[in-house]
Structure 1
């Protein structure tokens, strides 16, 4: 089975694409840039200067790919806007890296855990294109919809996929305890991602997501 995205820096672009945004690579300035970029993308610009920054961030994403922006967010805590965007990026990156595996796990999970209606509207069984379209629809809400709803939907998707991963890795008893442990850890990581996104969504509803 494809392993879940882990909460560390993947092989992303270097610092060069961010020089126009952060000036140098001082950690404090990178953190500030990450927070500002996340806030502007989620909350929207508040003045003409913010408009210009948003345009630069979006243009960078278009030219360099989403990986370029995501690198700014990789060290952010789960209960921050930047941390939420990093975890949403991880979820999307996993689906795009292994769409067939994601579809298989999501389909299996739908039979073993309740599925929120906003993530249930895919073909039965879902194919790779269906799952890619689903995760893109969920993440599109970052720019056009309610952020709490986006987080809840992403959490629901990850939770269903985690349940499917656990079930597929344990169709019956197995004497291979090492393999069982590895698959348990893999499913647990995806469940942790779901829990973090859901917690952040509740903070957003309470107006406490920084």
Structure 2
């Protein structure tokens, strides 16, 4: 078992600051083929049989099985692809489930500070409790499978941008007194902002039937 596999050993609760680590690969072409084929097969399966039980199993997958199976399939995929989008949504969900208190803190600070409609698009209550944010990210993930896929991606992207804004402002608050904590928050803000941009791009591709 490699060091990365130990990080993902199931059931797993990964630290949020590690949520963008990738697996090493063997044959890149085969990895890409499997990633795309499994992502398309998953969506086709749930769209053909969108029962509540099937959807709930997919939403609760990482709670029940950890993240390693999904990481093996999709973590090395391009960010702006179907498997890349699914990987980011599951990883975002796991990050919120793992530490809902921090997620709520970042979201509320971001909601207050951000100068955009992203809090409205994301759809969290005002203010949002930790449990409400867990419910929100599960609802967004559920929307991938039984709602409008592009809308769900847009909501997830908006969620990331609100969180990124919150992390940025909190990092500024801690810079003078707790620089290490500020650095962690800055790193998280950058990752969340990147995820937001990637998911927005994926939503646009989906609307053009070009998200492969």
Q: Structure 1-normalised TM-score? A: 0.75
Question: Which secondary structure state, in structure 2, belongs to the residue aligned with residue 202 of structure 1?
Answer: helix
Secondary structure at the aligned position of 1:171 is classed as: helix
Query: CA RMSD, aligned part only?
Result: 3.4
Q: Is the 8 A contact 1:70 1:86 kept in 2?
A: yes
Q: Secondary structure of 1:207's partner?
A: coil
CA 1:150 to 1:120, structure 2 compared with 1: closer, same or farther past 3 Å?
closer
Asked whether 1:6 is paired with 2:16, we answer no
Match of 2:37 in 1: 36
Q: Judging changes above 3 Å, is the alpha-carbon distance between structure 1 residues 4 and 161 closer, same or farther for their aligned structure 2 residues?
A: farther
Tell me the number of residue pairs that the alignment of Structure 1 and Structure 2 aligns. Answer: 187
Q: TM-score, normalised by structure 2?
A: 0.74
Q: Structure 1 runs of 4+ off > 6 angstroms? A: none
Unaligned segments of structure 2, at least 5 residues: 1-14, 49-53
Could you tell me how far apart the structure 2 residues matched to 1:110 and 1:93 are? 21
Distance 1:128 1:27, change over 3 A: same
In structure 2, the CA distance between the partners of 1:80 and 1:103, relative to structure 1 (3 Å rule), is same
The 1-side partners of 2:150 and 2:72 are apart by 23
Contact 2:121 2:154 in 1 (8 A): no
Partner of 2:196: 194
84-93 vs 33-42, which deviates more? Answer: 33-42
Cα distance in 2 between the residues matched to 1:201 and 1:38: 16
Aligned pairs for 1:1-210 (under 5 A) are 3=17, 5-9=19-23, 28-44=29-45, 61=61, 65=65, 67=67, 68-113=69-114, 114=116, 115-122=118-125, 124-171=126-173, 174=176, 180-210=182-212
Deviation at 1:2, TM superposition (A): 5.0
1:110 CA drift (Å): 0.4
Q: CA deviation at 1:112?
A: 1.2
Per the TM alignment, residue 96 of structure 1 is displaced from its structure 2 partner at its CA by 0.9
For structure 1, which runs of at least 5 residues remain unmatched after alignment?
A: 11-24, 48-53
SS at match of 1:72: helix
Q: Which moved more, 1:183-192 or 1:152-161?
A: 183-192
Q: 1:178 to 1:130 in 2, by over 3 A?
A: closer
CA contact (8 A) 1:4 1:189 kept: no
1:76 alignment partner, SS class: coil
Rg (Cα) greater in structure: 1
